[in-house]
Amino acid sequence: MRVFLSASMAVNVLLCVLLIPSFWTGSRSGSGWDSPALVSAMLGAATLVLTGVAVLAALLSIWGFATLREHAGTIAKEAAEKAMPKAAEAAAERAVRKLLDLPEGEGSNEIARAYGSENNGN
């Protein structure tokens, strides 16, 4: 984006450098330009360049949004796949605690001992 802004600035400067002397000394047809006509021409040229930059920025933002959405979906999928085993293990541990009526905070070894003592008693 900076390249396009720099290019538009360079075009504006080039137009000013090349055209201002010709406006003040008169064009080849022999008629000179007065100050209001010169300012109007310069503002018109700047408006056209700015409009082109704005259209280009709009197109780049649409492309960038589509790319961002695609990458965000990929990143979210990878993060979910990475976090899923831990979440499943925690959910399974909570379900076993609830089934065996164990208080929260005891480790997996306590669950295994409690489960083993229930099997040994049967």
DSSP 30: S
Q: What is the pLDDT of residue 31?
A: 61
Q: What pLDDT digit, counting tens, does each position of 62-80 carry?
A: 988 888 888 888 898 898 8
Interacting residues of 103 by C-beta distance below 8 A, sequence separation 6+: 97
Domain ranges of the chain: 2-121
**36 token code pair:** 């209001």
First vs last Cα of the chain: how many Å apart?
Answer: 74
Q: What is the pLDDT of residue 3?
A: 74
Question: What is this structure's pTM?
Answer: 0.41
